[in-house]
Structure 1
Amino acid sequence: MPGHHIPEPFCWDETFRVFYETLDNQHRGLFRSIFELQKHSDDGDQLCVMVAVMTAHFLVEEIIMKHSHYSDLGAHKHAHDDFIKHIKGLHTPVPASELNFCKDWLVNHIKDIDFKYKKQLSSYS
């Protein structure tokens, strides 16, 4: 099954909007962190930044889902945990195949998984 189109340059656009300002802004940061790592794939600090940005966002998103009694929180958190485990295992220079994996994962996670919570979370902006 083919995934969603991966934008190049790798930047957030309105097609990724989940309509919660906080989460949309954080999603922009997730895209930026992968984009910057792609430009500097040999920079260990940039890899650490990407892992930190992803981890922080997932925590915020999970807190919002928990507060909203979102029914699919468990599966959603499991997807986050698996991705974090994967990216924590990366080393520099990060191969293009791993960067492509990260891009593909993020695009498809937002459009296939995050889109399920549209209009289901408490009124967070």
Structure 2
Amino acid sequence: MGIPVPFAWSESFATSYKNIDNEHRTLFNGLFALSEFNTRDQLAACKECFVMHFRDEQTQMENANFEHFEEHKGIHEDFLEKMGHWKAPVAQKDIKFGMEWLVDHIPKEDFKYKGKL
């Protein structure tokens, strides 16, 4: 899936879990804001959104005994490791990577837990 223009969450990314969909909206907003206002504070806010979302999502997966939990957690950790190297101002190629990762991750990985949490 390509990066949507404008870069924003849409119903095509709905997981059927309102709290997760709201968090996904926040991730889209955080990356969009980082692309527009590429500051240290915006980068810190964006990273925090991802950390908080991954923690929440992983807790729900673990509580539901989701069969792909460890694999999914590893994918999150790999992304956070890459994001951890970003420095403000963040290179546009890195922001684009984050956007592409998010629009690919939700339908390819998060949709696996639809109806299972």
Corresponding residue to 1:98 among 90, 94, 102: 94
Deviations 1:27-61 (A, max 9, x none): 000000000000012x0010000100000000000
- State the AA in 1 paired with 2:37: H
Question: Percent of counterpart pairs with the same letter?
Answer: 36
> Considering only aligned residues, what root-mean-square deviation do their CA atoms show, in Å?
0.6
Corresponding residue to 1:109 among 105, 109, 114: 105
Separation in 1 of the partners of 2:21 and 2:114? 12
Separation in 1 of the partners of 2:84 and 2:6? 24
What secondary structure, in the 3-state scheme, does the structure 2 residue paired with 1:89 have? Answer: coil
- State the AA in 1 paired with 2:111: F
TM-score (norm 2): 0.98
Corresponding residue to 1:49 among 45, 48, 51: 45
Is structure 2 residue 27 aligned with structure 1 residue 27? Answer: no
Is structure 2 residue 64 aligned with structure 1 residue 68? Answer: yes
1:38 aligned partner: 35
Separation in 2 of the partners of 1:47 and 1:74? 27
Number of equivalences: 117
1:5: how far off?
2.2
Separation in 2 of the partners of 1:110 and 1:34? 15
Give every structure 1 segment of 4 or more consecutive aligned residues whose post-TM-superposition deviation is greater than 6 Å.
none
2:8 aligned partner: 11
1:88: how far off?
1.1
